[in-house]
Structure 1
Amino acid sequence: MTAPQPLLDLNADLGEGYGDWSMGDDAAMLEVVTTANIACGGHAGDARTMRAATRAAAARGVAITAHVAYPDRAGFGRRFLDMAPADLTDEVIVQVGALQAMARAEGTSVRGVKPHGALYNALAHHAGQAAAVVEALCQLEGLPLVAAPGAAVVEPAREAGLEVVLEGFADRAYRADGTLTPRTLPGAVLTDPAAVAAQALSIATQQGVRAADGSWVDLPVRSLCLHGDTPGAVELARTVHARLEEAGVVLGAAL
């Protein structure tokens, strides 16, 4: 008997609006992805956007993770904040708790936590902030964590008994050390549908990708991210989804 092919989660960052300002086409993205990472008040998101996003995800049967971030709407959560560990723990708890409450109101639940932007990047190397986030998740009844392969937060999270879902990116260029090319550098964000689909397929079927310098980067991941704010995000997501299905990749929520 042939072993069943493992699922690959296709996730996107959604609900990234605030007040009358909106970003991206969440409804269209929810037709394609299997998990929605919903902003919950740090870099974006308020009561209205959280309710709309959780309601739409629930209607489509899409899993939800809390897209926590530094409290930095002005910088869209893409600036490092040297927060005290206790403050960061409390901030994560508050953001996740808000989304959990709204999800319950819409008859669904938050299945895990995916840090956003600068916080996500900090957890790759900042031991103090990694410990603070792990502490927050432990206090949140052990919610799973989405993280990059090799990130400093991975082992402490697992040692604390947390499930960790490793993630790759279809629309971001990689450096030879396995980290993402900073957005301040040319070519950091991939916007060509063929290139994004090719990278997605490489990650899905070969568990790795070519870095910008041509070297090979191993990415043993269970989830693949597409950013909802990337130019042409909906077209990219549809192209990736179609290419993966054509290759026989089974798509489904990781959590």
Structure 2
Amino acid sequence: MAVINIDINCDVGEGLQNESALMPYISSCNIACGGHAGDLETMKRVILLAQGNQVKIGAHPGYPDRENFGRKVLDITNQELKDSIKDQLAVFAAAVKQQNAQMHHMKPHGALYNLIADEEDMAHVFLDAVEGYRETPIYLPYLSKIHKAALKRGFRFYLEAFADRNYDANLKLVSRSLDHALIQEPKKVLLHVLTIIQKEEVSTIGNIIRSIKADTICVHGDTPSALKILMYLSKELPKHQVLVSK
């Protein structure tokens, strides 16, 4: 079996103070930009940690909603959303520059990620907001509205799948309000990830098999067993000819 190289990403800078533990086991990170979480000092601290661990640095903008951790669609205008995303990215880009680092990618957070995956008009709102960073790839889900819009408009991107989340038959993430949304047992996560990487398939809720493609695999930094999952993947993936590409 040929060796497969895969990126493992993690959402960080969200107030959990677990970045030092996670960084050795990932190859890219998505740092909160002050919308749903984070501030300038946190951004600079996590950027420094990423540099020290040879981890690629990404911006993680979301709805400006700390109360709901960016996991609720806000009743704001499209212009207000665009302005917020632009402001978050400007702060993050300045922090990256101050640390003599480079922004490798962007990844929308939470409700924003799900919204632009499902709604074409909102996908274009997001792309309009990040137009100034057109050369910076976006992490986005396979066959989503944002995937198709990015293709049409010539934006760069990497396709993303989730190690610690279950999918429904429409390739949408199972809602966090449901008990079976998360996959937390490391052995189950490994099987889930290997199926995605090696077979380009995912077994959805109801045992329906769907095609999927991924260049990068996410483990959420706030998943309770995130560190156990990452340590286990780091040990087990090479046994299956899958290498994490730093």
Per-residue deviation at 1:112?
1.4
The equivalent residue for 1:33 is 26
1:47 Cα deviation (Å)? 1.3
C-alpha distance in 1 between matches for 2:121 and 2:129: 13
For 1:18-40, what per-residue CA distance to the aligned partner results, in whole angstroms no more than 9, with x for missing partners?
A: xxxxx151111100000011001
CA–CA distance in structure 2, aligned partners of residues 141 and 173 of structure 1 = 31
Deviation at 1:156, TM superposition (A): 1.6
1:237 aligns with 2:235: no
- Which of 200, 218, 224 is matched with 1:225 structurally? 218
1:128 aligned partner, one-letter code: D
| Residues 6, 160 of structure 1: alpha-carbon distance in 2 compared, 3 angstrom cutoff | farther
Say which of 122, 131, 140 aligns to 1:129. 122
Match of 2:38 among 38, 45, 53: 45
Distance 1:164 1:120 in 2: 14
Query: Where in structure 1 are there 5+ consecutive unaligned residues?
Result: 18-22
Residue among 12, 15, 39 paired with 2:13: 15
Flag the 1:196–1:24 CA change in 2: closer, same or farther, 3 A: farther
How far off is 1:6 after superposition?
A: 5.0
Q: Indicate the larger mover: 65-74 or 199-208.
A: 199-208
* 8 Å contact kept, 2:165–2:174: yes
Structure with the larger helix share = 2
- Structure 1 residue 210: deviation in Å? 0.7
Contact 1:112 1:144 in 2 (8 A): yes
Alpha-carbon separation, structure 2, partners of 1:45 and 1:200: 29
Which of residues 163, 168, 185 is equivalent to 1:192?
Answer: 185
Establish whether residue 64 from structure 1 lines up as the match of residue 51 from structure 2: no
Does the CA-based 8 Å contact 2:134-2:156 persist in structure 1?
Answer: no
Q: Which amino acid counterpart does residue 15 of structure 1 have in structure 2?
A: G
Alpha-carbon distance in structure 2 between the residues aligned to 1:82 and 1:7: 41
1:8 is paired with a residue of what secondary structure? strand
As a proportion of its length, which structure holds more strand?
2
**Partner residue of 1:20?**
none
Amino acid at match of 1:122: L
Question: In the aligned structure 2, how far is the partner of 1:107 from the partner of 1:247?
Answer: 36
**Matches of 2:103 and 2:228 in 1, distance apart?**
27
Q: Find the aligned partners of 1:54 and 1:143 in 2 and give their Cα distance.
A: 17
Q: Does 1:92 align with 2:85?
A: yes
For structure 2, the 5+ residue unaligned runs are none
TM-score, normalised on structure 2?
A: 0.95
**% identical equivalent positions:** 31
Taking the TM superposition and a 5 Å limit, the aligned residue runs for 1:81-160 are 81-160=74-153
The offset of 1:86, in angstroms, is 2.0
Please report how far the alpha carbon of residue 82 of structure 1 lies from its aligned counterpart in structure 2 after TM superposition. 3.7
- Number of equivalent positions: 246
SS across alignment from 2:64:
coil
CA positional deviation for 1:5: 4.7
Displacement of 1:143: 2.2
In the alignment, the residues of structure 2 paired with residue 45 and residue 208 of structure 1 have an alpha-carbon distance, to the nearest angstrom, of 34
Distance in 1 between residues matched to 2:65 and 2:196, nearest whole Å: 31
Matched, 1:163 2:156: yes
Aligned mates of 1:87, 1:133 — CA distance in 2? 11
